[in-house]
Amino acid sequence: MDYRTLGDTGTKVSELCLGTWRFAKESDGVVETDRKTAHALLDTFAEAGGNFVDTANVYGDPSGTSEDWIGDWLADRDREDFVLASKVYFPMGDGPNDSGLSRKHIRSQIRGTLDRLGTEYLDLYYIHRWDEETPIEETLSVLTELVEEGKVNYLGASSMAAWQLTKALWTSDVEGLERFDVTQPMYHAAATDDTVEHYLDVCADQDVAVCPYSPLAGGFLTGKYSRDGDAPEGSRADLVDSFEEYYVSETGWDVLDEIRAVADELDATPPQVALRWLVQQRAFTCTPIVGARTVDQLEENLGAAEISLSDDQFDRITDARTV
């Protein structure tokens, strides 16, 4: 596993980040990833050289369980070997101040996150969403205090619009507050939404790193689907009504065809090529967040760190997105 500098920071992270949103997540009463499997996934990731782990205070059932399990695993390891990211925004209780990005809620949640992870600081703290009810000045002010207090090293923003990120960066510069160094949008090779491209233009211009979630388009880019066939039984496309709306388009099929062709050339798999295309982005630092239900799935995804796309292969995939 190679490492790269995370945007405009001095911290180096693995080319791939491990996503833990499935840890302790219940679907129809069944836990997608239990504690034993979660620790096996963390072991596999670390053994491959991965050092960048992403979680959030709301991940797991009940909320906070993902952080708890990571903290348990980390207790037997050197904390300094890992770059930990978590998030704040969504409700953690029923009270009127139990959600959002107010000073009160952020202060409360950083204490809980650090306690569950068993660490004195976070490497990266994301706001999970934009808060329409709290001035961005208040949010950035308290986040800056956390950096000054040594509780957080860097700040990130998840699921923002381009104008929101621009406003936040401008506010930081004008008010002398800490900036967002990392963003976390939904992004993948089959994405066709111009608004995401505008957002990424801001990231490139401002040297903000990008850690996209859903880098395989919800499984669409794994290659398990075909244009004319029915979705495999039990797959996300089979179970989730909105799958096609979010992930499938005619352009997406063209991209998948090119990814399959490149995979054949490299003796790789479509997921590995789709992830590698993100890793090799030229305009901005891109570290995709990979999740997996099983160790086998994770090992396949980690294979993206072992291949390299030629300029021609990279451009063919990119061109398929714009035809």
CATH classification of the domain holding 96? 3.20.20.100
pLDDT-derived band at 251, boundaries 50, 70, 90 = confident
Provide the 3-class DSSP secondary structure of residue 181. Answer: strand
**Which of 3, 59, 121, 126 is flagged as catalytic?**
59
Confidence bin at 247 (pLDDT 50/70/90): low
Q: Which residues pair with 26 in a beta bridge?
A: 31
Please report whether residue 115 resides in a domain.
yes
DSSP bridge partners of 229 = none
Give the C-alpha distances (Å, rounded to integers) separating 103 from 88, 141, 146, 286.
11, 8, 11, 30
The reply to whether 61 falls in a domain is yes
How much is the average pLDDT of 239-268? 81
Residue 160 domain-assigned (yes or no): yes
Cβ within 8 Å of residue 213, ≥6 positions away:
19, 158, 184, 185, 186, 187, 289
pLDDT category at 31 given cuts 50, 70, 90 is confident
Cβ 305 vs Cβ 16: under 8 Å: yes
Q: Give the number of other Cβ atoms within 10 Å of residue 285's Cβ.
A: 21
Instruction: Report if residue 99 sits inside a domain.
Output: yes
- What's the chain's average pLDDT? 94
Domains held by the chain: number: 1
Q: Of all residues in the chain, what percent are helix, strand and coil, respectively (each to 5)? A: 45, 15, 40
**Active site includes 246?**
no
- pLDDT band at residue 239 using 50, 70 and 90 as cut-offs: very low
Q: How confident is the model at residue 238 (pLDDT cuts 50, 70, 90)?
A: very low
> Is pLDDT above 50 for 17?
yes
3-state secondary structure 17-43: EEECCCECCEECCEECECHHHHHHHHH
DSSP state of 218: G
Task: Note the pLDDT of residue 235.
Answer: 47
| Residue-range definition of the domain harbouring residue 141 | 3-184
> CA-CA distance, 88 to 82, in Å (whole number)?
20
Is 46 within the bounds of a domain?
A: yes
pLDDT at 3 > cutoff 80: yes
- Does residue 239 lie within any of the structural domains? no
**What confidence score (pLDDT) does residue 11 get?**
98
pLDDT digits over 79-132, tens only? Answer: 999 999 999 999 999 999 999 999 999 999 999 999 999 999 999 999 999 999
Residue 151 placed within a domain: yes
Cβ atoms of 101 and 126 closer than 8 Å: no
Query: Do the Cβ atoms of 60 and 24 come closer than 8 Å?
Result: yes
**Measured between alpha carbons, how far is 143 from 165 in angstroms, rounded to an integer?**
15
Q: Is 63 a member of any domain?
A: yes
220 within 8 A of 256, measured Cβ to Cβ: yes
pLDDT category at 219 given cuts 50, 70, 90 is confident
